[in-house]
Structure 1
Amino acid sequence: MSAEPAKFVWYDLMTSDAKAAESFYQSVVGWNTQDAGMGDRSYIILSAGTTMVGGLMPIPEDARAMGAKPCWNGYIGVSDVDAYAARVTAAGGTIRRPPDDIPGVGRFAVAADPHGAAFILFKGNSDQQPAPVAAGTPGHVGWHELHAGDGEQAFTFYADLFGWTKDEALDMGPLGIYQTFSTGGAAVGGMMTKTADMPATCWLYYVNVESVDAAIARISHGGGKVLMGPHQVPGGSWIVQGLDPQGAMFALVSAHR
């Protein structure tokens, strides 16, 4: 296994209406979109400027048959998908889709931690890593937040699996401890035991935008729903959490209200 901590390398949305979702996120985030040209499957590439940051696709029929709902997924880059899938199950997690190949792209497996929060293991055909961008760059994911079944147990699971380390721990009073974490360098996310109003454990990805207030107006205009915010967090950034028109939860962050 690599000595370097594993990092998030890609994000994509599974949705019930790909064209409507594409239009929504183009407006709200400002992403450019284009068809990936994968032939046997529909997959839209989402780009910030000329930099590809994620994708968008219809919920696969087999997943739809199993009751899958629209959701965002984070891909964690690993050195060997099959070996890491075995480590997930050994640590008490589950593999929801066994390792498989995406022709011309790489190998992946859909996994979940011991309390059910999903993530994707991924190894690309190329060892090229995403180019680093300045913190807060619009259109890029700026924060990764786990609403966990048990925050401390979740951190242990991900730290042992991926080499992540603790950063600052924030005491949020009745809401418990918010543990920020690093994948090498500055903190990239936080973990907390989920609150009662969060229906299930999940990863929530915060996309950088220029202005939270302006984005909120675009969310409402596009048929989405604001769940929380605008809210200022430690460090001064402003956040908003919402649902897109198809029901997928997403979040935005900005240095500016």
Structure 2
Amino acid sequence: MKLDVPVIGGPCWTELGTGDLDAAKRFYSELFGWRPRTDPHREAGGYSVAHLGDAAVAALAPLYQEAQPVAWNVSFAVSDADAAVRAVRAAGGTVVLEPMDVLDLGRFAVVFDPGGAAFQLWQARSFPGAGLFNAPGTLGWVELLTRAPERAGSFCTTVFGWSVRAGEHCTQWGLDGADFGGMVTMDDKFPPEVPAHWLPYFAVEDIDDMARTAVEAGGTLLMEPRTVPDGPSIAVLRDPQGAAFGVYPAGLEG
């Protein structure tokens, strides 16, 4: 990912919704060396921010609704959450959670694109998002998996103004020439019950070693380490509670 700080329109944060917060803390701390700190405010509901050094890099949180799936979620930075929600609706998306304030940290909303992929909008106040990208244990790439690539592409470029670089195997998203993510069409290899979704990739030093470590810690390999045509070596994993995520070479710039 060529972005190294949160910018408007780009990915700024990723958080896990999990049914076993303590187990998730243990698993990801073992993988990435994270130090989770739980927000002491009652209204935070156990929300825990993972740190590497002094940098906040991701969050782990309990499930807040019965229907909420165990999954990683990706947030995109916007200058005005309310205006962004209006743009989502106008482009054919659906609003799940209307814009709301989060203490003095910022304002956020949860939406679906027309293909059913959920993501979050974040209007920063005191908290801009992740303090570190592309280093081992931090967000390195975001990928949209969808069964409706044409609708998704039109939606994303309309709402965020992303550039599109279409390749034979993957479409890449960018802002002012800085690629930060991609889009993959979900084919018959994906079970029909798997919805469209955004998949975060975390940067690591060694893909094979990380895959082994994840399995030994109770995770599952969804896609064994492989080299993407004209791209890097990647793998897709699932944590013990069922949340999928990818791993990606640290320091790679899209």
User: TM-score scaled to structure 2, two decimals?
Assistant: 0.88
Which residue number corresponds to residue 170 of structure 1? Answer: 167
> Distance between the aligned counterparts of 1:43 and 1:253, measured in 2?
26
Question: What is the match of residue 232 of structure 1?
Answer: 227
Matched, 1:34 2:37: yes
Contact 2:38 2:46 survives alignment (8 Å): yes
Match of 1:154 in 2: 152
* Structure 2 CA distance for partners of 1:236 and 1:89, relative to 1, 3 Å: closer
Could you list the structure 1 runs, at least 4 aligned residues long, displaced by more than 4 angstroms after superposition: 127-133
Measured at CA, do residues 184 and 38 of structure 1 come closer, stay the same or move farther in structure 2, by a change above 3 Å?
A: farther
TM-superposed CA distance for 1:49, in Å, is 2.5
For 2:69, the aligned partner's letter is K
Range with bigger deviation, 33-42 or 91-100: 33-42
Select between 148-157 and 114-123 the one with higher mean Cα deviation. Answer: 148-157
Unaligned runs of 5+ in 2: 1-6
Deviation at 1:216, TM superposition (A): 1.1
Instruction: Spell out, residue by residue over 1:54-90, the C-alpha distance to the aligned partner (whole angstroms, 9 max, x if none).
Output: 1111000xx22xx221011111111111111111111
Aligned match of 1:194: 186
Q: Residue by residue, what CA displacement relative to the aligned partner does 1:114-164 show, whole Å, maximum 9, x if unpaired?
A: 01100001112238575565xx41122111110112212211111110110
Matched residues, number: 241
One of 14, 18, 25 as aligned partner of 1:15: 18
**How far apart are residue 235 of structure 1 and its match?**
4.7
2:100 alignment counterpart:
100
Letter in 2 for 1:240: A
Partners of 2:207 and 2:247 within 8 A in 1: yes
Shift of 1:42: 0.5
SS of alignment partner, residue 171 of structure 1: coil
Q: How does 1:119-158 map to 2 (within 5 A)?
A: 119-126=119-126, 128=128, 133=133, 136-158=134-156
Q: How big is the shift at 1:31?
A: 1.7
Q: Distance in 2 between matches of 1:127 and 1:100?
A: 15
Q: For residue 173 of structure 2, what is the aligned residue in structure 1? A: 181
Structure 1 partner of 2:4? none
Match of 2:53 among 30, 35, 49: 49
Residues in 1 aligned to 2:209 and 2:242: alpha-carbon distance in whole angstroms: 21
Partner SS state of residue 24, structure 1: helix
Aligned partners of 2:79 and 2:124 also within 8 Å: no
Which structure has more relative contact order (CA 8 Å, sep 6+)? It is 2
Q: Which residue identity does 2:61 align to in structure 1?
A: M
Return the match for 2:215 from 216, 220, 231: 220
Q: What is the alpha-carbon distance in structure 1 between the residues aligned to residue 52 and residue 246 of structure 2?
A: 16
Partners in 2 of 1:128 and 1:204 — Cα distance?
21
Q: 1:115 to 1:96 in 2, by over 3 A?
A: same
Structure 2 residue 87 is matched with structure 1 residue 87: yes
Contact kept, 8 Å, 1:5 with 1:163, in 2: the verdict is no
CA-based RMSD of the aligned residues comes to 2.0
Deviates more, 1:202-211 or 1:181-190: 181-190
The alignment's TM-score, normalised by the length of structure 1, stands at 0.87
Structure 1: any 5+ residue segments left out of the alignment? 173-177
Relative to structure 1, the CA distance from residue 100 to residue 252 in structure 2 (aligned partners, 3 Å threshold; closer, same or farther) is same
